[in-house]
A and B are shown apart, each in its own frame.
Chain A
Amino acid sequence: MKSFTIKAPAMGTEQFVRYGATVGDFNPVHYDLNFAKELKLPAVISQGPLTFTLALDAAIAENGLDSIAGFKARITAPVFPDTALTITGDADGNVTAASGETTCLEGELSPR
């Protein structure tokens, strides 16, 4: 696997709603600020699978889809709207997504 660092596009609430419509995830925590605040969150949060997909997309951009057979990741922190994640990958297939000093995802690619 190639080593890389990519700045993923920032996703806002509009993208959370569009992603939710694509995969059928209509959890209001992704679009309803009042609902999010009831859960003691400062803002709505991204879907975990969307963060996962952004990290996978960065890995595909660097390695090519044909060289990857899978991706496994832990979601380690919420991602808030308009956060441009920094996606980092190493030669062993380890991938992280971070917002500033906060690591939001830790994953591992499976090579084909």
Chain B
Amino acid sequence: MIPELKGKVLKTQKTRAYAARMADLEATLGTPTAAETARVALFFGVTIGRDFDVLDKMGMVLNETLMGGHEITWTRPFEPDEEVEVTVTLADVQDRGKNRIAVIESLFQAPGGEEIQRQYSTFVHLGGAGRGGEA
């Protein structure tokens, strides 16, 4: 069932690049450039809904899953409190041996369609090969 999910939109969500969260991230990092970094690294697309339901939809069990990699490209930093529309898609999924590798794309756009940022997050589900997920 999982291969049929490849290319499927797993989630769409409207949110904001909350200035308060930028300030929280800046405080957590605590470096001289943290404010700038927070404007490009504010979101983790996979948890955009503040949960891991994207992984659940693919039949990936959180405590059996490792993060293998992450990529962010941006056209510009987020503006504080600007509206953002997020589209989370299963870009690729493969079984390698006993494990399942999934690449999740998260596209961040302004309400008018302008692309602001794109993320690719790679997850390894240990022992997850051959398991099902929601169609």
Q: Give A residues with C-beta under 8 Å from B.
A: 8-9, 11, 15, 18-19, 21-27, 29, 35, 38-39, 47-49, 52-54, 56-57, 60-61, 65, 69-75, 110
Contact = CB atoms under 8 A, between A and B. Distances in A.
B47 A25 contact: yes
A70 B73 contact: yes
B70 A15 contact: no
Contacts of A53: 25, 29, 37, 41
Contact of B72 (A11, A22, A71): A71
Given A56-B37, A60-B36, A65-B77, A24 B44 contact: yes
A15 B39 CA distance: 18
Contacts of A74: 68-69
Interface in B24-53: 24-25, 27-34, 36-37, 39-44, 47-52
B107 to A, nearest CB: 14
A54 B29 contact: yes
Interface residues of B, number: 39
B54 to A, nearest CB: 11
A11 B29 CA distance: 8
Interface residues of B, dominant DSSP: mixed
Interface of B: 21, 24-25, 27-34, 36-37, 39-44, 47-52, 62-63, 66-75, 77, 120
B39 to A, nearest CB: 8
A92 B3 CA distance: 36
10 contacts: A24-B44, A24-B49, A27-B62, A54-B29, A57-B29, A61-B32, A70-B72, A70-B74, A72-B120, A75-B68
Given A22-B25, A72-B72, 8 more contacts: A9-B30, A24-B50, A53-B29, A57-B37, A57-B41, A61-B32, A71-B71, A72-B69
B41 A52 contact: yes
A72 B73 CA distance: 8
A48 to B, nearest CB: 4
